[in-house]
C-alpha cells in the first residue's frame, strides 16, 4: 500500500499545485503514460482543469451574488486562487468554503469593493440556514408551564438555522438587487448605511430580516445565553420586545439556566 | 428588583398571549423582509447549493496564478458610495 | 443481500436533479425509477430533503455517491459512511453505488474521481475497503467503472480485468457505465467490447448512459449532452450480452428540461423492451 500511497500523494500534489508547469506536475508525470497526442503532463492537466472546475463551480453555487457582482471571469479566478490554498477536509462539498469571506478580505484585486467580504458572509449564513435542521416554533404551552419562581432563569434561543450579521454596508440591499427575480433598479448607494441582519429559515422559507437596534441587542444577548433576570434589567421595553421577537419567529426555544443561588 | 420581576412577567405574559400555533402564521404576514427559496429551486446558477455534487467532469482553463490580471466586470459597477473612494486601489 | 431485492427497479430511469424536484412532484412523469446523488442530501434538514421525501413516495430510488473514496490509502471515512447509512435508512433505496476511484489522500479531498493504478497492490487494497464498507452498511454495494484521462505506467492488468477482479474478490455488484467505457476506450486506445467479454454478467445490476464532450485530443465525460450514437451502439451490444439491465440517464452539466431526460430514458426503454421480446 506504500507504493499506492506515494503515487496518490504525488498525483494530488500535481493537481493542487499552483503552477501548472511546476515540479509537482513533473514528478507525478513520471508515473503516467503518454498517449497519442497527449504527453504525461497533459494527462495530469486534464485533472487539474477538472478539479479547478469542480471547486469553482461549487463556490459559485454557494456564493452566487459574489459571483454576479464580480462577473464570472473574476470570480472563477479568485475562487481558483482560494481552492489552491484551502484544502477540503470533507467529502461533502457543502462544508467547503466557510473561510471564503476572510480570503476575499485579503485579496488585493478585490480591495476596491470593501463590502464584498460581508456579502460573502451573508451568503455563507444563507447557505448554512438553507441546510440547517428542520425546527418547530417556540413551544408556548411548555413555556407557560415554567413556574413563576424559575422565570428569571429562562434562557431563550434563536432558531438553529439563524445567524446574526452586522455590516457597515447595506449588504442585504446589495443581495436583494442581485437576485435573478429582482426587477427594480440595480443601483445601491453604500451611504444608505449599516445593516444588522438575522439570516434564518422559517419552515422551508428562507429569510433575511433587517433588525432594529433593540432587536439586535436582545438577539445578540440570546446567542450568548444571557438569562431573563439579566435581560429584564437591561431592556426597559422587554414587555413588548420579547413578544415581538417571538412573534417574528426569531426565538425558537428555551431552557432553564443552572440556579445561581 | 420588584420592577425587574414585573417587567419579566409582563414580557412572558406577552409571549404566552401569542398562543400556540399562531406564531408562524403571524410572522409570515408580519414584515416583508427578504424571502426566497420557499421550496422552489430555479434552474441556473443559483439553486441554493443543493446540487454541489455530480460525478461528471468540470472543464475549465488551467491558468497559472501569475497570469491573473482580471478586473471585476459584474454588477459591482452599480454599487456606489463615498466609502469606495477610500478603498479603491491606486490607478496604475 | 437478497437476490430478489431489485424487482422494483426495472427499465430506464433518470438521475434526479434539484432543478426538477418541483416538476417531478407536480407532474409525476412516467419514468420507472430515479437515481439520487447521495451527497446532495447530506444536509441536516431543509427543502431538498423535504422534496426527496415526497419524491420517494412516488418512485423507487437508488442512491449513487461520489464520496466513499474507495481507492484512497487514507482510512475509510466512517463519519461519511454513517451519514450515508442514515440516508439509506430514511429513504430505503433499492441499492447504493459509488465509483472505483479515489477522491482524497492525506485527509484532503479533491472532489474528482481519480483513477487507480491497475496493480495487484491496488486491487488488494480496494477489495479490503469494499469488504469493510459492505460490512458497515450491511449490504452489497455496486461499484462503477469511472471515466479516466490518465493511465499509470506500472499497470499490471487492464482496467476491465481490474473491475472484474475487484467485483469477484469483494463480492460486490457492478454499475457498468457504458459511456465511461467508450470514453476510456477512446482515450487509452482499446476496444470497449473488451469490457463486455470480461464483466461477470450476473453482477451487473445497473447501466449508466450519458453524453461526453469531444475535446482536441481526448473525450471528456461532462454529462452535458445527449447520449452519442456510438455509445447507443455499445449499449445495444451490452444488453445483448448482459441482458436488459436497469439503465439510467445521467445529466449534470447544462441540465435540460425534464422532457429531454425523459425522452432519452424512453430511448433506452425501447432498446430494453426490444431485447426482452427477442429473448
ipTM for this prediction: 0.94
Of C260, C247, C250, C249, which Cα lies nearest the Cα of C11? C247
Which residues, including other chains, have CB under 8 Å from residue C128's CB and lie 6 or more apart?
none
Residue A231 and residue A190 in one domain: yes
Write the pLDDT tens digit of every residue in C99-149: 999 999 999 999 999 999 999 999 999 999 999 999 999 999 999 999 999
Instruction: List A231's β-bridge partners, or say none.
Output: none
d(CA A154, CA B15): 13
Contacts of A67 in chain B (CB under 8 A): 45, 74
Residue C175 in this model has a pLDDT that exceeds 50:
yes
Does A124 map to a domain? no
The whole-angstrom separation of Cα C73 and Cα C239 is 35
What phi, psi does C161 have (nearest 5°)? Answer: -65, -40
Nine-digit cell at C267?
Answer: 430511448
Q: Are A153 and A249 members of one domain? A: yes
Per the document, the length of chain C is: 279
Inside any domain, residue C152: yes
**A177 with A246, same domain?**
yes
Find the helix or strand (DSSP H, E) in which A40 lies. Answer: helix A40-62
Chain C residues within an 8 Å CB radius of B50: 18, 40, 47-48
Cα–Cα distances in angstroms (integers) from residue A96 to residues A63, A93, A143, B33, C162, in the given order: 12, 5, 38, 28, 33
A98 and A163 co-located in one domain: no
How far is Cα of residue A205 from the mean position of the Cα atoms in its chain?
17
**β-strand partners of C209:** C249
CATH of residue C234: 3.20.20.150
pLDDT reported for residue C91: 98
Residue C226 exposure: Cα atoms within 13 Å on the Cβ side: 14
Residue C227: the pLDDT is 98
For range A109-122, the mean pLDDT:
96
Residues of B in contact with C47 (CB under 8 A): 37, 39, 41, 48, 50
Q: What percent of chain A has pLDDT over 90?
A: 91
Continuous segment of H or E residues that includes residue C247: strand C247-249
**Number of folded domains that form chain B:** 1
Number of residues assigned to chain A = 261
Q: Which domain holds residue B10?
A: 1-30
Would the CB atoms of A21 and B23 count as touching at under 8 Å? no
Task: Give me the residue label for grid cell 446558477.
Answer: B45
Q: Is residue A128 part of a domain?
A: no
Cross-chain Cβ contact A35/C188 below 8 Å: yes
Phi (first) and psi of residue C104, to 5 degrees: -150, 155
Average pLDDT of chain C is: 95
A138 and A261 housed in the same domain: yes
Cα(C158)–Cα(C119) distance, integer angstroms: 9
Tens-digit pLDDT profile for residues B14-73: 999 987 555 555 555 455 667 665 444 443 334 666 788 888 888 776 665 545 667 888
Query: Domain span at residue A146?
Result: 134-261
Strands C61-64 and C96-99: parallel
Q: What is the pLDDT of residues A88-99, one digit of tens each?
A: 999 999 999 999
| A188 chain-B contacts, CB cut-off 8 A | 78-80
Task: Please report whether residue A211 resides in a domain.
Answer: yes
Distance of CA A76 to the CA centre of its chain: 18
Shortest Cα distance, chain C CAs vs residue A194, angstroms: 30
**CATH number reported for the structural domain that contains residue A167 in this entry:** 3.90.930
Ramachandran bin of C189, using left for φ above 0, alpha for ψ from -120 to 50, beta for the remaining angles: left
Under the banding of pLDDT at 50, 70 and 90, the label for residue B91 is: very low
Q: Are residues A162 and A196 in the same domain?
A: yes
Phi-psi region of B39 (alpha: psi -120 to 50; beta: other; left: phi over 0): left
Angle at C102 between CA C98 and CA C104, to 5 degrees: 120
The answer to whether residues A146 and A68 belong to one domain is no
The verdict on residue B76 lying in a domain is no
Closest CA to C73 of A209, A11, A136, A167: A11
Instruction: Answer whether C113 touches B (CB < 8 Å).
Output: yes
Number of domains in chain C: 1
For residue A61, give the nearest of B38, B49, B86 by CB distance.
B49
A26 and A104 fall within a common domain: yes
Residue C4 lies in a domain: no
Are A107 and A173 within one domain?
no
Q: In the numeric block, which cell numbers belong to residue C24? A: 417531478
The verdict on residue A31 lying in a domain is yes
Domain that holds residue C229: 11-278
DSSP structural state of residue A95: G
Q: What Å distances lie between residue C271 and A106, C201, C211, C258, C276, CA to CA? A: 56, 18, 17, 20, 9
Asked whether residue A154 falls in the same domain as residue A63, the answer is no
- pLDDT tens, C197-245? 999 999 999 999 999 999 989 999 999 999 999 999 999 999 999 999 9
C246 part of a folded domain: yes
Residue A223 within any structural domain of the chain: yes
Number of domains present in the structure of chain A: 2
Of A61 and C1, which is predicted with more confidence? A61
Q: Where are the beta strands (DSSP E) in chain C?
A: 12-15, 34-37, 61-64, 96-99, 102-105, 108-114, 142-144, 173-177, 204-209, 213-214, 219-220, 247-249
In a domain, B21, yes or no: yes
The answer to whether position B3 is within a domain reads yes
Tell if the CB–CB gap between C112 and A130 is shorter than 8 Å: no
Amino acid at each position: 500500500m506504500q507504493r499506492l500511497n506515494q503515487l496518490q500523494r504525488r498525483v494530488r500534489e500535481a493537481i493542487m499545485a499552483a503552477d501548472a508547469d511546476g515540479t509537482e506536475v513533473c514528478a507525478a508525470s513520471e508515473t503516467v503514460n503518454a498517449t497519442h497526442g497527449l504527453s504525461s503532463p497533459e494527462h495530469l492537466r486534464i485533472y487539474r482543469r477538472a478539479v479547478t472546475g469542480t471547486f469553482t463551480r461549487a463556490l459559485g453555487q454557494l456564493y452566487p451574488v459574489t459571483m454576479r457582482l464580480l462577473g464570472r471571469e473574476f470570480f472563477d479566478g479568485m475562487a481558483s486562487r482560494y481552492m489552491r490554498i484551502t484544502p477540503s477536509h470533507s467529502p461533502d462539498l457543502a462544508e467547503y468554503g466557510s473561510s471564503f469571506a476572510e480570503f476575499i478580505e485579503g485579496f488585493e484585486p478585490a480591495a476596491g469593493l470593501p463590502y464584498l467580504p460581508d456579502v460573502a458572509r451573508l451568503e455563507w449564513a444563507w447557505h448554512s440556514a438553507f441546510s440547517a435542521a428542520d425546527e418547530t416554533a417556540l413551544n408556548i404551552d411548555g413555556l407557560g408551564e415554567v413556574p413563576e419562581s424559575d422565570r428569571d432563569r429562562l434562557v431563550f434561543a434563536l432558531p438553529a438555522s439563524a445567524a446574526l450579521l452586522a455590516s457597515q454596508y447595506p449588504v442585504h440591499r446589495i443581495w436583494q438587487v442581485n437576485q435573478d427575480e429582482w426587477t427594480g433598479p440595480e443601483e445601491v448607494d453604500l451611504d444608505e448605511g449599516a445593516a444588522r441582519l438575522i439570516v434564518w429559515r422559517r419552515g422551508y422559507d428562507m429569510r433575511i430580516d433587517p433588525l432594529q437596534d433593540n432587536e439586535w441587542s436582545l438577539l445578540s444577548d440570546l446567542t450568548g445565553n444571557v438569562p431573563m433576570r439579566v435581560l429584564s434589567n437591561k431592556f426597559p421595553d422587554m414587555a413588548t420586545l420579547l413578544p415581538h421577537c417571538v412573534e417574528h419567529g426569531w426565538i425558537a426555544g428555551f431552557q432553564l439556566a443552572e440556579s445561581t443561588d | 428588583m420588584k420592577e425587574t420581576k414585573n417587567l419579566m412577567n409582563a414580557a412572558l405574559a406577552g409571549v404566552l398571549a401569542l398562543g400556540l400555533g399562531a406564531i408562524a402564521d403571524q410572522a409570515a404576514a408580519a414584515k416583508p423582509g427578504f424571502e426566497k427559496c420557499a421550496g422552489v429551486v430555479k434552474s441556473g446558477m443559483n439553486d441554493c447549493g443543493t446540487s454541489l455534487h455530480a460525478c461528471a467532469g468540470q472543464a475549465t482553463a488551467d491558468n497559472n496564478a501569475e497570469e491573473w490580471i482580471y478586473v471585476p466586470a459584474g454588477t459591482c459597477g452599480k454599487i456606489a458610495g463615498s466609502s469606495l473612494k477610500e478603498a479603491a486601489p491606486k490607478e496604475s | 443481500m437478497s437476490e430478489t431485492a431489485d424487482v422494483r427497479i426495472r427499465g430506464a430511469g433518470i438521475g434526479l436533479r434539484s432543478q426538477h424536484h418541483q416538476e417531478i412532484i407536480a407532474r409525476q412523469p412516467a419514468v420507472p425509477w430515479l437515481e439520487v446523488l447521495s451527497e446532495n442530501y447530506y444536509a441536516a434538514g431543509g427543502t431538498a430533503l423535504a422534496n426527496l421525501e415526497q419524491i420517494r413516495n412516488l418512485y423507487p430510488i437508488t442512491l449513487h455517491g461520489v464520496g466513499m473514496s474507495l481507492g484512497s490509502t487514507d482510512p475509510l471515512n466512517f463519519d461519511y459512511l454513517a451519514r450515508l447509512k442514515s440516508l439509506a435508512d430514511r429513504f430505503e433505496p433499492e441499492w447504493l453505488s459509488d465509483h472505483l476511484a479515489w477522491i482524497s489522500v492525506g485527509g484532503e479531498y479533491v472532489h474528482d474521481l481519480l483513477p487507480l493504478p491497475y496493480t495487484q497492490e491496488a486491487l488488494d487494497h480496494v477489495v479490503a475497503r469494499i469488504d469493510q464498507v459492505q460490512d458497515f452498511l450491511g449490504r452489497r454495494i455496486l461499484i462503477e467503472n469511472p471515466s479516466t484521462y490518465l493511465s499509470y505506467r506500472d499497470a499490471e492488468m487492464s482496467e476491465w480485468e481490474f473491475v472484474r477482479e475487484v467485483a469477484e474478490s469483494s463480492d460486490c455488484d457492478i454499475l457498468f457505465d457504458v459511456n465511461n467505457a467508450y470514453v476510456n476506450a477512446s482515450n487509452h486506445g482499446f476496444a470497449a467490447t473488451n469490457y463486455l467479454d470480461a464483466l461477470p454478467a450476473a453482477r451487473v445490476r445497473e447501466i449508466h448512459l450519458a453524453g461526453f464532450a469531444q475535446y482536441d485530443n481526448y473525450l471528456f465525460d461532462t454529462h452535458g449532452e445527449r447520449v452519442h450514437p456510438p455509445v447507443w451502439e455499445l449499449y445495444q451490444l451490452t444488453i445483448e450480452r448482459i441482458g436488459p439491465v436497469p439503465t439510467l440517464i445521467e445529466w449534470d452539466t447544462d441540465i435540460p428540461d425534464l422532457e429531454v431526460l425523459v425522452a432519452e430514458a424512453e430511448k433506452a426503454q425501447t432498446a430494453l423492451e426490444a431485447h426482452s421480446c427477442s429473448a
